[in-house]
């Protein structure tokens, strides 16, 4: 499959879209909210001291903030009483006392801001440390998972864990915990302060809540279906744009621009329709809350004026109470938002913990082999090997072969015969279902997986290069190699000449997709990397499939020199490249049906001879 076509088929997870005003967008829900939150609390228990500090400073900040309006009301009362006293011929306003009240008020708000700063600083540290730990554990987990896990999951799903889910968790943790504590503390504190001013006015203010709650509930119910639809079509739009631009050359080549435009217009229309409805309904929440709140202020002002005339409360108490009424509705809205955030937190945490709890492949052998992998000579035995990716469907039915050190072994056969599977078994990417694979007489299960793989060098059909210089990419085969050794490996792989023609030569930076070099050049670089690694056993899986015939001949000569004294496995569809192999294993339907060198197999005029001759007929 070409690189362009690969891009056309990649499905990336849709990005999160914008929410409505006031955080009204419904959150993704976890399957087990309670259980996931318990796991998250246990995971964060390492930071319990810091969390207690956050709680204390959040409550302190809220307390100082809640007391403020009451103190400010005292200043208003003092000014009002002073004016009345002045009108009645008295001494007038006591500015000294007002100054003292304002100093106290300034100190309260100052301490509140300081406590808020401290809790914000500590909480940011907790959330980012948690995110850091999760990313680290996910990264480590990726290397411990068996290969069959990646057969069941897409790269996009795994990538989403370490990006979207960890980011969501870190962000919502930072916001939701402190906001929840602050909202609850504000709600209780304001209620207490309102009751100290006037229980009757508090009752009137509380009657507003069911009205506003009912209206907001109605809006949420109506807007939720549009938000869900908006997120769905936002994912469709993002996916279509990414696929179109990822395979832009293919779209141009086949003249499919108009088809893509029509499809995009249709999806974009659906997104527009759901987006404006969701934004409209969610946008109504603030005006409705404001209208109901204003009705409450009118009721409080009228009742407060009446109580003041009766001498029950002071003028400043009315001002304080109105401020408390305004503050009282805010934490209720915030708690609703926090519950939404906690749902997102739980959903993200659930996927992360689900990934971290996946069954791992056994890394360490139970019975260690008597020799280190670096001391192996390279004799390989396949002893009646049976294997199936699904235990109920065996694809390698009875594979046996005896391979001596330094032999060049070619594995050929039609697609799906089991060629690449045998190599995966050899490197213990999968374990055999039955039988055994031996190296120098030692079962490969007696080696630690990582130690065993140190004995192998591998060049795959699908090249892998990372963002960095060409020198760094080749040196990845052996990190302690000198620059000269890297250059010698490149020469042996016939990559030196084209590297010199590139801007910067060996120091040229490859981009993330390594698209600034050709596919054939990428293959040469990976071959140079394998040459530099200098392993006991070399595996080439379609290693020359992306290079031209002339370069292929030069590489084959270099490989012949390289493989001298090393056991080499070559998987190839071009049978002309393995004519000089010491042993050719011909596979069909998971079994070796023929084996021998090229001349012997051609003389048999069997399956191999038919394959070989058919290739030349096709090329002719």
What phi-psi label fits residue 226: left (phi over 0), alpha (psi between -120 and 50 degrees) or beta? alpha
Q: Is the pLDDT of residue 187 over 60?
A: yes
Q: Is the pLDDT of residue 471 over 90?
A: yes
Q: Are residues 140 and 46 in the same domain?
A: yes
Q: Are residues 232 and 117 in the same domain?
A: no
Q: Residue 4 — pLDDT band, cuts 50, 70, 90?
A: very low
Residue 300 is assigned to a structural domain of this protein: yes
Structural domain of 213: 199-312
Residue 240 is assigned to a structural domain of this protein: yes
Q: Do residues 12 and 251 make contact, with C-beta atoms less than 8 angstroms apart?
A: no
Q: Residue 363 — pLDDT band, cuts 50, 70, 90?
A: low
* Domains in the chain, number: 3
In 3D, which of 584, 575, 578, 573 has the Cα closest to residue 542?
573
- The residues that bridge with 402 in the sheet, in sequence order, are 381
- Interatomic CA distance for residues 134 and 352, integer angstroms: 8
Within 10 angstroms of residue 37's Cβ, the number of other Cβ atoms is 16
Q: Is the pLDDT of residue 337 over 50?
A: yes
Question: The dihedral of CA 8, 14, 20, 21: what is its sign?
Answer: negative
Residue 412 is assigned to a structural domain of this protein: yes
Q: Are residues 523 and 606 in the same domain?
A: yes
Q: Are residues 193 and 230 in the same domain?
A: no
Q: Find tokens 């990006």 and name the residue.
A: 163
Q: Find tokens 């293959």 and name the residue.
A: 523
pLDDT of 118 reads: 94
pLDDT of 1 reads: 36
Residue 441 is assigned to a structural domain of this protein: no
Question: How big is the CA angle at 291 (ends 285 and 294), to the nearest 5 degrees?
Answer: 135
- Considering 131-140, 153-162, 321-330, 441-450, the range whose residues carry the highest mean pLDDT is 131-140
Residue 539 is assigned to a structural domain of this protein: yes
Lowest mean pLDDT among 98-107, 380-389, 399-408, 449-458: 449-458
Q: Are residues 47 and 122 in the same domain?
A: yes
pLDDT of 366 reads: 61
Q: Are residues 164 and 181 in the same domain?
A: yes
Q: Are residues 89 and 192 in the same domain?
A: yes
pLDDT of 110 reads: 93
Lowest mean pLDDT among 416-425, 443-452, 542-551, 605-614: 542-551
Q: Is the pLDDT of residue 196 over 80?
A: yes
Q: Are residues 137 and 233 in the same domain?
A: no
- Interatomic CA distance for residues 477 and 519, integer angstroms: 19
Q: Find tokens 């390989």 and name the residue.
A: 380
Lowest mean pLDDT among 218-232, 321-335, 529-543, 587-601: 218-232
Higher pLDDT, residue 334 or 356: 356
Within 10 angstroms of residue 291's Cβ, the number of other Cβ atoms is 12
Q: Are residues 138 and 205 in the same domain?
A: no
| Residue 499 DSSP class | H
Tokens, residue 350: 């659930």
Residue 329 is assigned to a structural domain of this protein: no
Sequence-distant (≥ 6) Cβ neighbours of residue 572 within 8 angstroms: 410, 412, 540, 542, 543, 544, 545, 578
Sequence-distant (≥ 6) Cβ neighbours of residue 17 within 8 angstroms: 230, 231, 234
Higher pLDDT, residue 20 or 460: 460
pLDDT of 487 reads: 92
Torsion of CA 302, 308, 311, 314, to 10 degrees: 140
Q: Are residues 559 and 578 in the same domain?
A: yes
pLDDT of 139 reads: 87
Mean model confidence pLDDT for the chain:
79
Q: Are residues 117 and 265 in the same domain?
A: no
Which DSSP string do the residues of 430-468 spell out, in sequence order? Answer: S--SEEEEEETTEEGGGS-HHHHHTTEEEE-SS----SE
Q: How many residues does the chain have?
A: 620
pLDDT of 3 reads: 36
CATH classification at residue 136: 1.20.1560.10
| Residue 390 DSSP class | B
Residue 394 is assigned to a structural domain of this protein: no
Domain final position from 287, 312, 337: 312
pTM as predicted: 0.67
Instruction: Give the β-pairing of 434-439 and 442-443.
Output: antiparallel
Residue 420: its H or E element:
helix 419-426
The pLDDT tens digits for 369-388 are 667 766 777 888 888 888 88
pLDDT of 581 reads: 85
The pLDDT tens digits for 7-38 are 333 333 333 433 433 444 455 666 778 888 88
CATH classification at residue 474: 3.40.50.300
> Which percentage of the chain shows pLDDT scores above 70?
86
Q: Do residues 326 and 301 make contact, with C-beta atoms less than 8 angstroms apart?
A: no
Residue 438 is assigned to a structural domain of this protein: no
Lowest mean pLDDT among 109-118, 239-248, 306-315: 239-248
Q: Are residues 292 and 158 in the same domain?
A: no
Lowest mean pLDDT among 117-126, 262-271, 284-293, 489-498: 284-293
Q: Do residues 527 and 507 make contact, with C-beta atoms less than 8 angstroms apart?
A: no
Go through 399-426 and write b for each residue having 16 or more CB atoms within 10 A of its CB, e for each that does not: bebebeeebbbbbbbeeebbbbbbbbbb
The pLDDT tens digits for 300-323 are 888 888 888 888 888 888 888 888
């Amino acid at each position: 499959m070409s690189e362009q076509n690969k891009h056309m088929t990649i499905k990336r997870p849709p990005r999160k879209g914008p929410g409505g005003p006031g955080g009204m967008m419904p959150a993704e829900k976890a399957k087990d909210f309670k259980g996931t939150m318990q796991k998250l609390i246990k995971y964060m228990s390492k930071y319990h001291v810091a969390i207690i500090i956050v709680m204390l400073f959040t409550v302190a900040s809220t307390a100082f903030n809640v007391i403020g309006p009451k103190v400010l009301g005292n200043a208003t009362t003092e000014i009002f009483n002073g004016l009345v006293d002045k009108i009645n011929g008295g001494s007038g306003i006591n500015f000294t006392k007002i100054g003292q009240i304002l100093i106290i008020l300034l100190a309260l708000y100052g301490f509140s801001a300081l406590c808020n700063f401290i809790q914000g600083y500590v909480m940011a540290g907790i959330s980012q440390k948690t995110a850091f730990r999760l990313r680290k554990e996910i990264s480590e987990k990726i290397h411990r998972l068996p290969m069959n896990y990646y057969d069941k999951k897409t790269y996009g799903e795994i990538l989403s864990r370490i990006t979207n889910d960890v980011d969501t968790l870190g962000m919502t943790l930072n916001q939701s915990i402190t906001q929840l504590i602050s909202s609850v503390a504000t709600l209780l504190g304001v209620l207490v302060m309102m009751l100290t001013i006037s229980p009757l006015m508090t009752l009137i203010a509380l009657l507003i809540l069911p009205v506003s709650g009912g209206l907001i509930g109605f809006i949420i119910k109506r807007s939720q279906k549009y938000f869900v639809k908006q997120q769905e079509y936002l994912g469709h739009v993002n996916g279509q744009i990414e696929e179109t631009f990822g395979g832009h050359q293919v779209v141009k080549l086949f003249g499919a621009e108009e088809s893509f435009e029509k499809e995009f217009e249709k999806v974009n229309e659906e997104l527009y329709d759901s987006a404006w409805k969701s934004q409209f309904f969610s946008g109504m929440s603030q005006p409705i809350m404001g209208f109901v709140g204003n009705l409450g202020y009118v009721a409080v002002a009228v009742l407060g004026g009446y109580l003041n005339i009766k001498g029950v409360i002071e003028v400043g108490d009315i001002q304080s109470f109105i401020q408390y009424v305004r503050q009282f509705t805010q934490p209720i809205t915030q708690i609703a938002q926090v519950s939404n955030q906690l749902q997102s937190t739980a959903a993200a945490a659930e996927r992360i913990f689900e990934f971290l709890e996946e069954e791992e492949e056994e890394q360490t052998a139970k019975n260690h082999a008597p020799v280190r992998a670096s001391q192996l000579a390279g004799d390989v035995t396949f002893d009646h090997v049976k294997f199936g990716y699904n235990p109920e469907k065996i694809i390698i039915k009875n594979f046996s072969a005896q391979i001596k050190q330094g032999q060049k072994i070619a594995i050929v056969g039609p697609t799906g015969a089991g060629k690449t599977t045998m190599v995966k078994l050899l490197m213990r990417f999968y374990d055999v279902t039955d039988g055994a694979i031996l190296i120098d007489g030692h079962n490969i299960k007696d080696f630690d997986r990582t130690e065993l793989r140190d004995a192998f060098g591998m060049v795959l059909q699908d090249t892998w290069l990372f963002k960095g210089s060409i020198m760094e990419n080749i040196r990845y085969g052996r990190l302690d190699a000198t620059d000269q050794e890297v250059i010698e490996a490149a020469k042996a792989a016939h990559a030196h000449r084209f590297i010199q023609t590139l801007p910067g030569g060996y120091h040229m930076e490859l981009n993330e997709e390594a698209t600034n070099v050709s596919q054939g050049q990428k293959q040469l670089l990976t071959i140079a990397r394998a040459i530099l690694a200098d392993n006991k056993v070399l595996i080439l899986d379609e290693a020359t499939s992306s290079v031209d015939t002339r370069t292929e001949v030069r590489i084959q000569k270099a490989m012949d020199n390289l493989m001298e004294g090393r056991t080499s496995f070559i998987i190839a569809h071009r049978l002309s490249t393995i004519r000089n192999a010491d042993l050719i294993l011909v596979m069909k339907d998971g079994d070796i049906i023929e084996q021998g060198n090229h001349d012997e197999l051609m003389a048999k005029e069997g399956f191999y001879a038919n394959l070989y001759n058919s290739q030349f007929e096709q090329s002719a």
